Amino acid sequence: MTVGVGEKCLEQADSGKPAGTGAQNLVVETEALFRATMEAAQVGVFVLQDRLFRYANPFLLDLLGYTADELIGQMGPLDIVLPEQHTLLLQQMGERAKGVRRSSYELSAVRKDGSVLPVKILGRPALIEGRPASVGTVIDLSAQKVAEQKIRELADFDALTGLPNRRLLHDRVMQLLASAQRDKSSVALVFLDLDHFKRINDSLGHSLGDELLCAVAQRLSNAVRRVDTLSRLGGDEFILAMPGIHSAAAVDIARRLLEECNAPFFVGGHELTVTSSLGISIFPQDGPDIETLLKNADAAMYKAKEQGRNTFQFYAAEMNTATLERLMMESNLRRAIRNKEFVLHYQPLVSLRSGLIIGVEALIRWLHPDLGMIMPDRFIHVAEETGLINPIGDWVLGEACRQAQAWNDAGLAPMIMAVNVAPVQFRQAGFVEAVAGALASSRLDAGRLELELTERTVMNDADINIGTLSALHRMGVELSLDDFGTGYSSLAYLKRFPVGKLKIDRSFVRDLEIDPDDQAIASTIVSMGRNLRLTVLAEGVETAEQLVLLRNMDCDMAQGFLFSRALPPAKIAELLQTQPFMNQE
């Protein structure tokens, strides 16, 4: 292959050898075409001979930062390539000199100012003046490398927080486990989930929620070691993989992570305090691979949530059984909603002055096709954790209102229909509208519906909840505080809440005959309710002695097995007709 026509024509023109006018014009035209082509090229073009640059086009000169006088005939490829790549370069140059054609290869070129840029070289052997040479192109790969790095980041890192994602976490943990197995050491996996994060998204918006996640990620990153891997699994779930950490050390780390989350975050003009629940699994005792360790850490995290949140739990084998049962329960609950397997039973609410049944409390039961009647304490907590409580709660509300109006239409005396409202259900967007819809579709008077909320539900974000409570009160719906005395009610808020009834928790009624403290608490609640012009109802009344004490305290109402268990609608209708508790001492 012979290259360098332009150069040879120049040499002939400058040598003084005779040439015809036509040949001379051809030389000039060819030289002009060669220079125009090389100057227009948007890649570097070079000619090498004797390991020196014999030609470099303007693009290559600009790319390297040299003038033609500095580069041509003065420098060679070894002068503009990192020293550690000289061996590869010499091998490639030797093969070109021998006439060997090869594919392109990549190097790191050094500019005149010392900066380094990645380039791709494509060289071809040539003959110039009968001696071996090579010609080739140089392509700047800087933009391509930036794009490749961006692609790698998108593939391996979370787009929101910049933390390693699930894919990169998997790769790193695999390496940690292989090293730990070889060294007979341990690896701790911490599964961290923010508590009630959905509430922040729902109340303040997803944009602020994203800002909070970034702030949490930054704070956690500053709290871990360089050898640890902190990853965002998705949503508000974070995974921390720590080599060489045993159980005792993991305790200290878990406490520190909890403290980091508990400190206030200042996001979007808001001061936010969040808590977290942590689950910990340890290699090798809690699993041989990342899938098992993650599953077990997840199970431990759910156990931490069951323990009240803002805490941590180590994995224990029985947690998997509980997790499996929970998954099966969730699956069955979804089927139960589709197949309408729920029924309502009703427990009478009795006036202690007259013995008259003046209301009932609607209590859900699950009529399972295989297991029979399932009580709510076995499935309500799963429904709340999975969000299924919302469709279940909406059904209870609608069915209770329908049944109350059906009794009215049948000629029974109007009475109160009390319905429990779960915290998740109360906080869902559109809850007030759902209540209004249930009343409208059933034609039940709003004053006949009483919604029971635990004081923990009401007091959590009390300022926000006052708006919802006030909207229900303006609608005419009655409100009561369930489980009163077990939470942390503020009397100042209690005065502001449009609540008409307090329910003394059954834990204070159970030992009322024998425990002076329970008597004092119950009496105090009755007295406080009277002073605040609220009705007071005692739950869980089971003995005549308890009933006498409550009447002596001047308690207004009671419910419990002493009067009746929760019964199906037909049985309740009979009680409403006969009123068997009237005038009983």
What digits encode the pLDDT tens for the residues 490-507? 566 677 788 899 999 899
The pLDDT of residue 264 is above 80: yes
* DSSP percent split of the chain into helix, strand, coil, nearest 5: 50, 25, 25
What is the sign of the dihedral through the CA atoms of 13, 14, 20 and 21? positive
* For residues 305-313, average pLDDT: 88
In degrees to the nearest 10, what's the CA dihedral of 566, 569, 575, 581? 30
CB 199 within 8 A of CB 427: yes
pLDDT at 12: 36
CB 478 within 8 A of CB 501: yes
* Fold of the domain spanning 41-145: Beta-Lactamase (3.30.450)
pLDDT at 400: 97
Largest separation between any pair of C-alpha atoms in the chain = 141
According to CATH, the superfamily of the domain at 333-578 is EAL domain (3.20.20.450)
More confident of the two residues 149 and 561? 561
The pLDDT of residue 11 is above 70: no
What digits encode the pLDDT tens for the residues 119-148? 999 888 888 888 888 888 999 988 888 877
CATH class as words, domain 157-316: alpha beta
3-state secondary structure of 236: coil
CB 300 within 8 A of CB 318: no
Beta-sheet pairing, 276-283 with 270-272: unpaired
Beta-sheet pairing, 229-234 with 557-558: unpaired
Query: How far apart are the C-alpha atoms of 414 and 356, rounded to whole Å?
Result: 12
Letter for the amino acid at 505? D
The ranges assigned to domains in the chain are: 41-145, 157-316, 333-578
pLDDT at 488: 54
The pLDDT of residue 521 is above 50: yes
Nearest CA to 340 among 399, 403, 423, 428? 399
Of the listed ranges 146-160, 315-329, 349-363, 365-379, the least confidently predicted one is 315-329
Q: Model pTM?
A: 0.55
The pLDDT of residue 14 is above 50: no
Distances 179 to 16, 172, 173, 291 between C-alpha atoms, Å: 75, 11, 10, 17
Which tokens in the block code for residue 374? 């399932």
Nearest CA to 195 among 269, 281, 268, 262? 262
pLDDT at 16: 41
In degrees to the nearest 10, what's the CA dihedral of 24, 25, 28, 34? -120
What is the H or E stretch that residue 24 is in?
A: helix 21-40
Which tokens in the block code for residue 395? 């059904």
